[in-house]
Amino acid sequence: MKLDIDYISSLLNAFIEADSAHIDYNYWISSGVQVESLDNPGKFDEKFIFHAQLLLENSLISNRNFESRTLKDIGISFSKNSDVVISVPIRLTQKGHDFCSALRNKEVLTKLKSELKDAPFKVLFDGSQKLIQHFAKKKLDDLLA
């Protein structure tokens, strides 16, 4: 499955838009993020699982105990007949905030989607941070001129 930068952005934006420090699985649903399979009721959407695993692997989200090793750490598990969700408070880590902040910048998001659309996740993350620093430096230079 290919990485979808817009989908990652929607997952991360849910944290920024929330009124609390933590969200849970249901908050993604109420934010309009597609997390449940349309074809298989009671099952998670494969796109959601893929991207949630990327967020965990890259330490962008964790539970309130700073655990981010497995989907179970954020309340997601699988059984033989259906997928299971337990309400677990999930937080955006500092790294997650940094990535989300970069993705919320339209110039950064546009560049990532046009120039780095097939890049590995690490390149996307590092590229987003370099681009946001570049755009911020330009703004600071303009302010100081």
What average pLDDT does the structure give for the chain?
95
At 132 the pLDDT is 95
pLDDT tens across 4-39, in order?
999 999 999 999 999 999 999 999 999 999 999 999
Decide if 3 contacts 54 (C-beta within 8 A): yes
- For the chain, domain boundaries: 5-93, 98-144
pLDDT tens across 41-61, in order?
889 999 999 999 999 999 999
Helix axes 106-115, 121-144, angle to 10 degrees: 140
pTM of the model as a whole? 0.92
At 44 the pLDDT is 95
User: Which DSSP helix (H) or strand (E) runs through 78?
Assistant: strand 76-78
CATH-assigned architecture of domain 5-93:
Orthogonal Bundle (1.10)
